[in-house]
A = this chain, B = another copy of it.
Amino acid sequence: MSDRVSTRQRRLLLEILRETGSHLSAKELFRQAVQRDPRISLASVYRNLHLFEELGLVDGKRLDRNCCYYEVKRSRQHYDLVCNCCGRVTEFESPLIEKLVGEVQERTAFEVTKAVLYLEGYCKQCEGQSKKP
């Protein structure tokens, strides 16, 4: 597994992802990486994020129209809550998703390999903003 995480660049990128703990865009990851190793290139960031995903080390999620956000994969599956107002991302777990997937597989004979799910709305700090422009 970590067999293939053998270059300076890969070690650095994983390190940052692990320290940060959540939801970095490629651009932001690049920004942080450059501070520690000015020679790293954006191409390496993308290249290695794809590799990490293939290796199952990292999860990439599209939490908005613009770009993908990456985070180290944890043992427990979770989903995200994205605030329309402040942009903060919080997380939740629920057995209902597994249940939903099970039901769909039975009912439709579709073999599910991945559930893409996130919820948009307003976090506690931003509540009431929903009526604003």
Contacts and interface: CB of A to CB of B under 8 A. Distances in A.
Contacts of A2: none
Interface in A54-107: 62, 65, 68, 81, 83-84, 90, 92, 94, 96-97, 99-101, 103-104, 107
A122 B111 contact: yes
A121 interface: yes
A98 to B, nearest CB: 10
Contact of A96 (B62, B96, B114, B122): B96
A69 to B, nearest CB: 13
20 contacts: A62-B65, A65-B68, A81-B110, A83-B110, A90-B108, A92-B104, A96-B96, A96-B103, A100-B100, A101-B119, A104-B119, A109-B127, A110-B123, A111-B130, A112-B120, A114-B119, A114-B121, A115-B117, A116-B120, A117-B117
Interface of A: 62, 65, 68, 81, 83-84, 90, 92, 94, 96-97, 99-101, 103-104, 107-124, 127, 130
